[in-house]
Each structure stands twice: as C-alpha cells, then as structure tokens.
Amino acid sequence: MTPTIFSPAQLPCGRQLRNRLVKAALYEHLATFYGGPPNGLHFALYATWSAHDWGMIITGNVQVSQTHLSLARDIVLPSDLSDDKLEPFRALANAIHGQREHQPLAIMQLSHAGRQSPNILGGRLPFTAPLGPSRIRVGQSVTGAASSIFHSLMFQTPKSMSIEAIDQVVSAFVHGARVAVEAGFDGIELHAAHGYLLAQFMSPKANKRTDEYSAHGLLFLSRIIHDIRLVVPSKFVLGVKLNSADETTADALQYVQIIASWSLVDFIEISGGDYEKPDFLTESEASPDHRQARFAHFSHRAAQSMESIPSPSRPLILLTGGLSTPAHLSTALSSGHADLLGLGRASVIFPDLPQRVLNWNGQSEEPFIHQPNFRVKLFDRLPQIRLIGAGTIMAWYTVMLRRLAEGERSTGDLGALGGLVWMWLWFKPEFNALLNVQLVLRRLLIVVYVVFALGFAFGINFFIHYSEAETLFTILRRKSPVFHGQDLHVFPIQGVLETIYIHYETSLQDGTNVGGC
C-alpha cells in the first residue's frame, strides 16, 4: 500500500512515527559563545515545534568536541553523566516530547566539525589546527585568489588524526549516545554529511590517508555505529545523515548500500553539500522543481540499492532538501523516492506546518514559503566565495529561529545583510549567564554574612559565659549607679569591650604599658 503523508512509519528498531513529517536538523546558534548546554531559548524553540504534530524532531548538531565547533554557539555534550550535567539535556528532550498524547520522536544529532571547524569560532586558540583525516585545508582545491585568501584565514590546515585520536573521537560519539539515552531522547542521528568529520573520512578530496581508514572510507563510521549499538537499548533509534553526492553518485550510493547492509541503522537522511560547495546552506539558483528532482532522483536510487535487504531491517530513507510544495511531499512518497519527509527552513516560518499540510490541497504547487531576496550587491563582487553568499541565507534563518524561540512569528523587514549583522550582534545567553553570576554572588554574600553573624554571636557568648576574668561589664554592674542592675548582655559591643578589658586587666597584672590599647 502506498504510504501517505499522515500514515505511520515503522522503524527497524521497532519505534513508530505517527506521521512521515520530520522537522529536520537546523543549526540553532542559541548556546553561549564557545559552546555549552541547551538553555531556555532551546527549550522554548523545541516546545513550539512539539505542539504541532511532527512525527519526528531532530535537534541541530550537538558537538562531541568542545574544541571543534562550527559557528561558536553550538550545543556541546557534557563531560560526564552526572545529574547536574544531564539536566539541561533532559529538559530539551522533554521540550521536544511536549505535552501532547501523541509525542514526536526526539532525536539528538551528534556531530564533529573536523577540518571545517573555523579559526577562532571553532573553540580553539587562534590559528590552532583542528583535526582531520589528512592535512588538507578547506578550500585548498577551490580556485581563485579571493577564495584562497578567505579560506586560508577562515580555516587552518588540519592535523592528520592518529589512531589514538580516532579512538578518542569514536569514544566521544559513544559518550554522546549514552548522554542521549540518559537524557530521555528516543535516538540519535550521526552527522556524516555537509563536509563534517565523518563525511571527511568518506571523501576522496579530504581523505588522503594510506592506512586502513583510507582503503575503507566507512571504517570510521562503522566503528562508531557498532560501538553505539553495544551501549544503547534495542529500541533506541539510530540514523545517519549522508551527502547525496560527494565525488560521484556511484560512490555515494555504494555507501548507502553498505551502511544498510549492517542492519544497525533505522533511517538514512539524504542531504548534500559541504563548505566548499555549500548546497545545504543555499537556495539553489535552479528552480525548486529542479532541486527537488535532483535530491529525489538520488534518494530513489538509494532506496533501490537497498531492495535486497530484508524489509524488517531495511533503513527508511529520509529526504531533506527540495521539498518546497505540498505536491513535492505527496510525489516523494508515491514515487518511492522517500519514506520520511524532512523539512527545515519551512518549519521556521511555519512551525505548525503539519497542521497546515493537513488542511492544504496535497497536489498544490504553491510553495510553503515565499522567501525574501537574499542577494547582497556587495557580495556579488566575490563570486568565487560561495560560502559568504550561503552565509547570508543561513544568518537570516538563524535570526528567524531566534525570534521563534522568543515567541515572535513575524519575519519582519530584516533583509539578507540585516540577518548577517543581527546573527552576530546578539549576546542574550551571555547576559543571562551574567545575571546568574550576580545571583550567585548575592547568595554567596548572604551566606558569608550569616556565617559572620553566627561567628560574632558565638564569640559574644564565649566571652560572656566562659571568661573567668572580671570584665568591664561586671565591674560596671557592680560599681556603677547608672548600670546597676541592668542586663548588659543586650549591648552589641559587649564582646569587644570585654575583650579590651580582659587584655587591660592582664596587662596591669603583668606591669606592662597598655597605652596603645
């Protein structure tokens, strides 16, 4: 029977999606600078999506390495599984699940930027080399003087990973899976696309190694997947995000077939591009229909390549990219191009897109969103640097994500350049952190004050009740007509005066000069 948009989808692990609409991973850019745990903005953002009938919701990339970020404000895994470190991630999982009877599956996307972790923004000291499969810098193969200068400043030549470094990264991904389990996520997606580290090992242009990790481009990914399956529950969802093409379509299709043959993966997401060819960041200059056809053609061939794998263990194909109209959604399913439908930027403008699709004509060619003109004339003079133009589009959507997290739905009159400016001139997480520091300092001062007051009171009590010397106050009580019969314990300065008088009496007995008191 031909699946429909709102028919359920069964994953090989046994978990089920209520419908086939997936909120695809989007980089949120909401964490503190140089990375940190999810915060209130993340919770609000994902709670918005969870209220609108998505079958599955995938987070933006959660980095497994603090020193290999993408654009500085990444979510980063906690260093351990203690309750206080896991609490923000549990809150994020709860926000994704929401309060509805039919909850979406909550999937954490795990990533390592590798050589694409930029200079300074990547979480390392300036001009410190990131890790990569080989010593090949991003943009090294791109021609043009302007492009060469830009990429050499933005990216460092990576340090070729030793076997020990590879082992450490494998362990980091396994740790990420354990974090997801303990935090209450339903599964993870390994980001092996867009030129990040896992994709770099599969790419002939980034991987020039001469060891086993060159001869077998999937060995790195295979180790991670097999080790993760050893530590997660049997019904834990495991997905992989792959490029639709890197060097050749044949290689990419072969990777899909091999990964599916492991019978360890629940879904394979088809996307495309990297920082040298940032298709995943741009709206193609070609028509939406052309772009959709390109992705759909590859996903259809990917599905065909898995036909020999028994159905219960065959991973589902998640198509992300080019799905811009209701008709695209229906056609992708009916033509066998995909099992699941990933929507990213449309979900930013319409977080309630599933409900809208339900009410719209399924054959409509009307685009979900009419995007603004992202052209910046200044950047037209830099045609060799595609990443800059792509960055203006990403920045615009990043600001829209931020507005959605803050409860705003209007796109406003931002413009491409405005998006680029406001993406970076924003420090709310740091401001909130500063307020938290001030709150901690206030509480610390209160504690210090209380401890001092208790110590002062104890000191008073000690001198009053345990001093054997005749104090100033006992003399006053005995000799002074003014203080005769008064309870002098109520005087706050009593402890100080008693101490002075004790010292004074002792000095007189010793015959010493006390003029300095």
Reported as a single tens digit per residue, the pLDDT across 317-375 is 999 988 888 888 999 999 988 999 999 999 999 999 999 998 887 677 888 877 666 55
CA separation for the pair 490, 271 (Å, rounded): 78
Given a contact cutoff of 8 angstroms between Cβ atoms, the answer to whether 90 and 183 are in contact is yes
Q: Which of 34-38, 107-111, 385-389 has the lowest mean pLDDT?
A: 385-389
How deeply is 251 buried, as exposed, middle or buried, from its count of CB atoms within 10 A (0-12, 13-18, 19+)?
middle
- Residue found by looking up tokens 């990429």 in the block: 151
Between CA 205 and CA 214 the distance in angstroms is 11
Which candidate, 284, 277, 208, 281, places its Cα nearest to that of 246? 277
More confident residue, 480 or 244: 244
For 277, the 3-state DSSP assignment is coil
Tokens linked to 351: 């977080």
Give dist(CA 200, CA 214) in Å, integer.
11
Confidence of residue 411 (pLDDT cuts 50, 70, 90): low
Q: What is the pLDDT of residue 490?
A: 46
HSE, CB side, 13 Å, CA atoms: give it for residue 276. Answer: 21
Distance CA 116, CA 122 (A): 9
Chain mean pLDDT for the chain: 82
Cβ within 8 Å of residue 448, ≥6 positions away = none
Q: Tokens 């929401």 identify what position?
A: 98
CB atoms within 10 A of CB 355: 13
For 138-167, write each residue's pLDDT tens digit. Answer: 888 766 676 778 778 889 999 999 999 999
* Parallel/antiparallel/unpaired status of strands 105-111 and 131-132: unpaired
Pairing of strands 237-243, 267-271: parallel
Evaluate if residue 472 carries a pLDDT over 60.
Answer: no
Question: Which pLDDT belongs to residue 308?
Answer: 87
Confidence class for position 445, pLDDT limits 50, 70, 90: low
Q: How far apart are CA 6 and CA 55, in angstroms?
A: 9
**Among the listed residues 236, 259, 263, 242, the one whose alpha carbon sits nearest the alpha carbon of residue 107:** 236
Tens-place pLDDT, residues 43-80: 999 999 999 999 999 999 999 999 999 999 999 999 99
Which parts of 90-193 are beta strand (E)?
Answer: 105-111, 131-132, 159-160, 187-192
In the chain, the domains with their CATH numbers are 15-375 (3.20.20.70), 435-510 (no CATH)
pTM score, whole prediction: 0.81
Which value, in Å, is the radius of gyration of the alpha carbons in the chain?
32
Say yes or no to pLDDT of 383 above 90: no
pLDDT more than 70, % of the chain: 72
Highest mean pLDDT among 129-138, 284-293, 379-388, 505-514: 129-138
- Which of the four pLDDT bands, split at 50, 70 and 90, describes residue 275? low
Task: Report residue 286's pLDDT band, with 50, 70 and 90 as the boundaries.
Answer: very low
Query: 181: which 2 tokens?
Result: 């389990």
Task: Give CA–CA dist 6/21, Å, rounded.
Answer: 8
Residue 22: CB atoms within 10 Å? 28
